[in-house]
Amino acid sequence: MPRNPSVPNLPIPMKWLLFLALPLTVLAQARDPRVDALTMEMAQLKSTIADQEQRITALEKTVKALQAVATPVPAPIPAPTPPWESASNWNLIKKGMSEAQVVEILGPPTLAEAVTDMRTLYYTPDPRSTMTLTGSVTLMDDRVTATMPPAF
């Protein structure tokens, strides 16, 4: 049998081994298109994630800056109108009522003066107020004897 000059002179079992191994190396070197597609998709996903991380960081900085600038100042809660500033409440005060009943209707007095058995409850606005309404209730032995309601 003539010899092929391109094949070295190897024992027969070694030739068979080369013959069997050659297709394996060719297969190992052949690229699977699915692997290439997955590799490309993974690179695109990594790029998308990196872009989103940058956008999130920028948005978080913007939100913090806006929160620092636009911190709302709570509006002051308006003081409720004292009950004595209502004419209808003064109409409820009757002679013979106790001081406790008067305070329940008009609220606590701004000032109270007592001289022996007579006690006078004064209702005046807060000194910072521009209102000039004033009223008083006079009690004798803890009973209403006279009222001077504000001039509404």
Residues 88 and 141 in one domain: yes
Residues 88 and 143 in one domain: yes
Q: Is residue 1 part of a domain?
A: no
Q: Is residue 5 part of a domain?
A: no
Q: Is residue 27 part of a domain?
A: yes
Number of structural domains the chain divides into: 2
Q: What is the pLDDT of residue 19?
A: 62
Residues 87 and 45 in one domain: no
Domain span holding position 125: 83-148
Residues 64 and 87 in one domain: no
Instruction: Pull the structure tokens for residue 87.
Output: 């004419």
Domain end call among 24, 39, 69: 69
Q: Helix, strand, coil % (nearest 5) of the chain?
A: 45, 15, 40
Q: Is residue 125 part of a domain?
A: yes
Choice between 16 and 136, residue whose per-residue pLDDT is larger: 136
Q: Is residue 7 part of a domain?
A: no
pTM for this entry: 0.49
Q: What is the pLDDT of residue 114?
A: 94
Instruction: Pull the structure tokens for residue 41.
Output: 């998709």
Q: Is residue 78 part of a domain?
A: no
Q: Is residue 33 part of a domain?
A: yes
Residues 46 and 17 in one domain: yes
Nearest to 84 by CA among 123, 49, 140: 123
DSSP secondary structure of 30-79: SPPHHHHHHHHHHHHHHHHHHHHHHHHHHHHHHHHHHHHH-PPPPPPPPP
Overall average pLDDT of the 133-149 stretch: 95
pLDDT exceeds cutoff 80 at 107:
yes
Q: What is the pLDDT of residue 7?
A: 53
Q: What CATH number does the domain containing 106 carry?
A: 3.30.1450.10
Overall average pLDDT of the 87-111 stretch: 96
